[in-house]
């Protein structure tokens, strides 16, 4: 099975978590694109979606799925999104596509976070994938120095601006043994908008695409 087939398989499996006649939260990335395409098949059974990126919103609209502003949505039973890395505790590194801030906001609102990944994303320890940190442009150098103090090598994502008009530092070389603690610590650096650790609000269930099929891994509480 190709990686795309694994992604397609989990995207399809996520449909059964979508709640009928409600708004569904939709993340961003290539796995989510397969989910959006699958969602088109049941669009008559949902009220619409909120999207974590302009790209996802465009794709939803092309399929004729109504896209709501999050501020106008009072109830969001489910959020479906991918990850760049995920552990068995369902802590994640996200933001490879740069949509981490909006993803984190929608994840916070949602009652249930369904993470969809191919098998390559499951790791024992987070950090091999460089941790994306969204920063206010004037804080770029300062936050970079703060990351260096934490033994990480920040690399500015060249030619990239987030949907919020900010910059991304991809922070290499971290071995993240306590994701909730590091998430909180990095959030406290002035100028950091969001960091790509999703641990304090991790996923509730992981749908992992493996050659043998989709494995559902619920969070251990």
Binding site for ligand 5RP (CB under 6 A): 27-31, 81-84, 94-100, 103
Shortest spacing between CB 168 and ligand 5RP, in angstroms: 10
| CB of 204 closer than 8 Å to CB of 113 | yes
* Placement of tokens 């088109």 in the chain: 40
SS3 73: coil
Shortest spacing between CB 44 and ligand 5RP, in angstroms: 26
Active site residue 134: no
**Nearest to ligand 5RP of 146, 198 (CB atom):** 198
Compute the C-alpha angle 168/122/39, nearest 5°: 75
Shortest spacing between CB 88 and ligand 5RP, in angstroms: 18
DSSP 96-151: TTS-HHHHHHHHHH-SEEEEEEEGGGB-SSB-SSPEEEEE-GGGHHHHHHHHHHTT
Other C-beta atoms closer than 10 Å to the C-beta of 178 total: 11
**Nearest to ligand 5RP of 91, 149 (CB atom):** 91
Shortest spacing between CB 27 and ligand 5RP, in angstroms: 5
d(CA 77, CA 215): 22
Catalytic residue (choose from 58, 85, 103, 210): 103
Shortest spacing between CB 96 and ligand 5RP, in angstroms: 3
d(CA 32, CA 105): 17
**Nearest to ligand 5RP of 20, 34 (CB atom):** 34
| CB of 192 closer than 8 Å to CB of 139 | yes
d(CA 217, CA 203): 10
**Nearest to ligand 5RP of 83, 190 (CB atom):** 83
**Nearest to ligand 5RP of 121, 182 (CB atom):** 121
Catalytic residues: 103
């Amino acid at each position: 099975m190709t990686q795309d087939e694994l992604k397609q398989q989990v995207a399809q499996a996520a449909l059964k978590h979508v709640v009928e006649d409600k708004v569904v939260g939709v993340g961003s990335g290539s796995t989510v694109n397969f989910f959006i395409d699958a969602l088109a098949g049941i669009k008559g059974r949902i009220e619409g979606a909120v999207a974590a990126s302009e790209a996802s919103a465009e794709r939803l609209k092309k399929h004729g799925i109504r896209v709501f502003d999050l501020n106008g949505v009072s109830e969001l039973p489910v959020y479906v999104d991918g990850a760049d890395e995920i552990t068995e505790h369902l802590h994640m590194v996200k933001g490879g596509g740069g949509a981490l801030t909006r993803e984190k906001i929608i994840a916070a609102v949602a009652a249930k976070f369904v993470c969809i990944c191919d098998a390559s994303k499951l790791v024992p320890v987070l950090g091999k994938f460089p941790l994306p940190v969204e920063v206010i442009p004037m804080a770029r150098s300062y936050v970079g120095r703060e990351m260096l103090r934490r033994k990480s090598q920040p690399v500015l994502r060249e030619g990239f601006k987030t949907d919020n008009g900010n910059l991304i530092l991809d922070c290499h070389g971290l071995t993240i043994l306590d994701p909730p603690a590091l998430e909180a610590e990095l959030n406290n650096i002035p100028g950091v908008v969001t960091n790509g650790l999703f641990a304090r609000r991790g996923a509730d269930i992981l749908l992992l695409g493996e050659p043998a099929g989709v494995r559902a891994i619920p969070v251990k509480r």
